[in-house]
Amino acid sequence: MLGTDIRGIMAEEEEVQRRQQALKSLVQMRAKQLRESLDERIKRARSSGDWTQLSKAECADLHKQEKAHLKSQLEQLQYEQNRTRGKLTALKRAKARAQRIRAAEAASERKRR
């Protein structure tokens, strides 16, 4: 029974680690976008065919709006990252506890024989 629990804990731990990596990647990407200057953003937008008909003032306004949105996303992602980190820590503790219990049961079984 505990063997199954440990396997379940390990599977969940792997899933949480994958989520943690994905969040880390998203945080890095959003942080990079947040550091982008207006001129860099205009250049990137125009190379993809966007913002071609906009004045620099209009571009600046859109850029400011994007930065506010990115900052909000970044804060949410960092909150999720902290929650995920806590969940991973709890899973590691649960796995260690299950392994100790399993080892104690095995030792107890050997003494009975």
Query: Could you tell me if 34 and 74 are in contact, meaning their C-beta atoms sit under 8 angstroms apart?
Result: yes
The per-residue pLDDT for range 17-27, each reduced to its tens digit, is 999 999 999 99
Instruction: With a cut of 70, say whether residue 4 has pLDDT above it.
Output: no
User: Smallest Cα–Cα separation from 73: which of 26, 36, 38?
Assistant: 26
Distance set, CA 53 to CA 40, 42, 50, 64, 72 (Å)? 17, 11, 8, 18, 28
Tokens 């880390």, residue? 24
User: Mean pLDDT over residues 48-76, rounded?
Assistant: 94
In whole angstroms, what is the distance from residue 88 CA to residue 14 CA? 9
Task: Please state the domain extents for the chain.
Answer: 2-112
Can you give the pTM of this predicted structure?
Answer: 0.71
